[in-house]
Structure 1
Amino acid sequence: MQLYYAPGTISVAVAIALEEAGLDYEAIKISFADKEHLSPAYAQINPKARVPALAIDGGILTETGALLDYIADLAPEAALRPSDPILAARMREVMYYLASTMHVNHAHKMRGSRWADKTSSYKDMQAKVPETMAASCAHLSQYGLRGPFVLGEEISLADCYLYVVCTWLDGDGVDLAEFPKIQSFMTAMEQRAPVRAIYAKGML
């Protein structure tokens, strides 16, 4: 498998899951600074011009949540997706919240052109980011984290996703001291060998 990623982006959640699952993969860096995601060559891989993209024998897969579920299917022994349907739904509840709300909150800082044509609107969007990201942290602290990890004591796909989003918080102007449960979650994740491996590879 080949994982197309950009450092510090949500694509790294897929890399963490691959490491947790013990699966072999080749990480291919896409430079946003050099606009490689907008190149004709990358358009053949992901016409959405975004990361992640995962090249497999059957073609190309995109979208973080879909790739995480695929990894769980490939490595059921890693137990990254619980077999209990309620726990699996709770896991996806957090993942879908991250995708539909928190990631969108974050994107307003640098991707204002997705929502407005006038550059004068961008600063207003940027100014709102610390507030909306902090609100998401409050929600996750109360409803998303049921223990050290999303589902309690055991790691799941949602933790791979949440950890990468949490690495954005400092840059988004969120005071992590106000969210001790998230701080503890990040510490727990950073103690895991797969996350340390990602840092060693320079992906975060």
Structure 2
Amino acid sequence: MLKLYWVKGTISIAVAIALEEAGLPYDAVQMDFKTADQTKPDYLAVNPKGRVPALALEDGTVLTETGALLDYIAAIAPTANLVPTDPQNAAHMRSTMYYLASTMHIAHAHKMRGSRWATQQSSFDDMTAMVPETMAACAAYVDTHILRGDYVLGDTFSIADPYLYVVCNWLSGDGVDVALYPKIQNFMSKMQARPSVQTIYQKAML
């Protein structure tokens, strides 16, 4: 059985939602950032990066990086139709995922992970102060250019949607007024109504 290493509220939950959408059984191994589980030898033996998510396969192989795990889930559960067959739609789906990974997640991380980029408290404070502005800019881009309807691909659900859902869950905590972005509001409502997301809430993963 697949084994997902996750932390509540983090991007690892996007993988859990995709597993639920695909109907794939998995064991959920909860990590705790408060006790720095991700830095301990047992977990570093699983994922030397010291990050979540990590997905352990039945043969012992461990996969990392959210986008790669989402693509893997879609590939091993083709009947779930989590990746579009149209090349342009697939490109839009993946460009969304890459944007979330390279831009929006990084903007969010500046709030509490400043030590990844700087060493001075003044730098940390400056990064934190910028988060509402940078995350609002990201939200505006998502609302205007990413969401093509109820989901990233319009009426069609794809692996980009759980990724976007988890990241958009961070907006309010980052000082962004989500009411200013009607497409994001609609998207969040549609996602919250999906059985996969309801199951994740029942499991207290979000």
* TM-score, length of structure 1 as denominator length: 0.99
Matched, 1:12 2:23: no
How many equivalent residue pairs? 204
Q: CA deviation at 1:91?
A: 0.2
Which one of the candidate residues 187, 190, 198 is aligned to 1:188?
A: 190
CA distance in 2, matches of 1:167, 1:202: 15
CA distance in 2, matches of 1:36, 1:95: 27
SS in 1 for 2:104: helix
Distance 1:105 1:178 in 2: 19
Query: Displacement, 1:84?
Result: 1.0
SS at match of 2:173: coil
Q: Which residue of 1 aligns with 2:27?
A: 26
- 3-state SS in 2 of match to 1:96: helix
Partner SS, residue 171 of structure 1: helix
Which of 113, 119, 126 is residue 124 of structure 1 equivalent to? 126
In 2, the alpha carbon distance for the partners of 1:25 and 1:35 equals 24
Unaligned runs of 5+ in 2: none
**TM superposition shift of 1:119:** 1.5
Paired residue for 1:115? 117
3-state SS, counterpart of residue 89 of structure 1: helix
Instruction: Tell me the CA shift for residue 57 of structure 1.
Output: 2.6
Aligned partner of 1:38 in structure 2 is 39
- The CA deviation at 1:54 is 0.3
Instruction: Name the aligned partner's letter for residue 134 of structure 1.
Output: A
Moved over 4 A (4+): none
Task: Tell me, in whole angstroms, the C-alpha distance in 1 between the residues paired with 2:87 and 2:74.
Answer: 14
Residue of structure 2 in register with 1:77 after alignment: 79
Amino acid in structure 1 at the alignment position of 2:78: P
Question: What is the DSSP-based 3-state SS (H/G/I as helix, E as strand, rest coil) of the residue aligned with 1:110?
Answer: coil
Aligned ranges for residues 57-76 of structure 1 at < 5 Å?
57-58=58-59, 59-76=61-78
- Superimposed CA distance per residue, residues 95-124 of structure 1 (whole angstroms, 9 cap, x where no aligned partner): 000000000000000000001011221110
Write the letter of the residue equivalent to 1:171. Answer: G
| Match runs of 1:145-160 below 5 Å | 145-160=147-162
For the residues of structure 2 that align with 1:50 and 1:5, how far apart are their CA atoms?
9
CA distance in 1, matches of 2:140, 2:131: 14
Name the CA distance, whole Å, in 2 between partners of 1:48 and 1:13: 19
Whole-Å Cα distance in 1 between the matches of residues 173 and 107 of structure 2? 13
Structure 1 portions without partners, runs of 5+: none
| Aligned match for 2:174, one of 153, 172, 175 | 172
RMSD value over aligned CA atoms?
A: 0.6
Q: TM-score, normalised by structure 2?
A: 0.98
Shift of residue 85 of structure 1? 1.0
Between the aligned partners of 1:119 and 1:49, the Cα distance in structure 2 is: 23
